[in-house]
Amino acid sequence: PLKDFSFISQTLEAKLEALQCHFTWELNPSESKLLLLREILEDIGTEEGNSWLGHIYNLRGYIQYKLGFTEDSQSLFNQATEALRLTRGAEEGPWLVVNYGNLAWLHHHLGEQEESQAYLSKVDALMKKYPSPSQDELHPEILAEIAWTLMKFSAKQRLLAAVYFERAIRTQTDMVEWNTSRVLALESASKDPENKVEVDILKEMEDAKKRDPENLYLAALYLEACAKKIRFDIKEEARELGREVLKRPVSSYSGNTPILRLYRKNGLKDEAIELAEEALRRHPGERFLKWSAANCYKWVLEDRKDPALQKEIDRGISLCKEVISLYSHHSLKIKIALANMYLLLNNQDEAEKIFVELHKIKDLEEAELKLLNINCRKIFQM
Ligand SMILES: *[C@@H]1O[C@H](CO)[C@@H](O)[C@H](O)[C@H]1NC(C)=O
């Protein structure tokens, strides 16, 4: 009779379940969340020196698996391995545990049990060789990757992300980007009135800025918070950050978005257009910069609903159209902006067409639906 080998696969499953990786973190994303996140992650940019590159590839690999692109998933997990080696400057280390865990799961799902088993053994070996410095706590590298992933996953989980970063920093204090991200997560969480953030965010940001002076993203948020709390004129500082961000490699992590928001909130909307256009001149192919530029036109046109701004309206419309064609998924806001620009041209038909289309989308989130309805009322009541 055939021997019963089912106990082997059982232990394999149990071992897989015990891994720390994206497949076991109960992320439970909806399909629209996955599609949205995929495009956001593609925009982060993969320039050398981005210390999150490994985590980015790991998450992108997981997303592609969930969306059914297993080949792409495998190649992204392999890119994660390489990126982690590069950023950590070593062939192996505890920072590979999550990545190998993902690969063990992927091979298991593909029916390749031997490969899966091989990655399980590699994880075992890493855990033995690099045990967590703190006995009843996960390895800080794992905690930090959980934190970063939660932070990307949803605004609702930012507070939890900050807690994970804190746990990571408690046992390993030398990673400046963990410290910075902890503060960024706290800052973001503090904007949600449901979260009770007890720390002094401004002070935390000030300290973080001293430790990580090169981070323009943080610098922009800090300046924004200062302006709000102390109410001084920050135009000149904002312009300086604007000049600085142009010199950086293009990435949605470079600080471009919060810097343009600073311009917007501090009476520099026309200069925001100039800055966004200059960035585009330097990197004409970047869809993410086209999106920022389209937003800048939207801000100016919202303020001055003036059909005489013909040049701005034309440019705004053409940018919006391009952005919509470059992103398949998260173009709701930009489509609403486009509809509003058509209204400035008295083109009610085109505007209505867009709204009819948008109302066919099924899985909008609550906030999106609200935004859509507010704008819709505006248009159809004219
Ligand atoms: C990160 O923060 C901790 C706790 O505040 C501190 O002890 C550590 O020196 C900081 N690390 C870096 C690299 O700035």
Q: Does any domain span residue 321?
A: no
Instruction: Work out the pLDDT band at 1, boundaries 50, 70, 90.
Output: very low
CA distance 81 to 147: 19
More confident position, 379 or 79:
79
In the numeric block, the tokens 């998450």 are attached to 59
Domain assignment present for residue 16? The answer is yes
Q: What is the pTM of this model?
A: 0.90
SS3 145: helix
Q: Does any domain span residue 209?
A: no
Residue 342 lies in a domain: no
What are 16-45's pLDDT values in tens digits? 999 999 999 999 888 888 998 999 899 887
CATH code, domain with 9: 1.25.40.10
- Does any domain span residue 357? no
Q: State pLDDT tens for residues 263-295.
A: 999 999 999 999 999 999 999 989 999 999 999
Which of 169, 180, 209 best tests ligand 1's pocket when mutated (most atoms within 8 Å of CB)? 169
Please tell me the distance between residue 166's alpha carbon and the centre of ligand 1 in angstroms: 10
Mutate to test the pocket of ligand 1, among 143, 173, 178 (most ligand atoms within 8 A of CB): 173
For residue 262, give every residue at least 6 positions away whose Cβ sits within 8 Å of its Cβ, in sequence order, or none. 220, 223, 224, 227, 234, 238, 241, 268
Ligand 1 pocket, mutate which of 172, 179, 186, 212 (most atoms under 8 A from CB): 179
For the chain, what is the domain count? 1
Per-residue pLDDT band at 381 (split at 50, 70, 90)? low
- Centre of ligand 1 from the C-alpha of residue 243, in Å: 29
Residues touching ligand 1 (Cβ under 6 Å) are 169, 173-174, 176, 179, 211
pLDDT tens sequence across 308-361:
899 999 999 999 999 999 998 767 888 998 998 898 888 889 999 998 888 888
DSSP states of 205-250 as a string?
HHHHHHH-TT-HHHHHHHHHHHHHHH----HHHHHHHHHHHHHSPP
Q: What percent of the chain has pLDDT over 70?
A: 96
Q: Which structural domain, as residue segments, surrounds residue 39?
A: 5-131
Instruction: Please give the distance, rounded to the nearest whole angstrom, from the Cα atom of residue 310 to the centre of ligand 1.
Output: 52
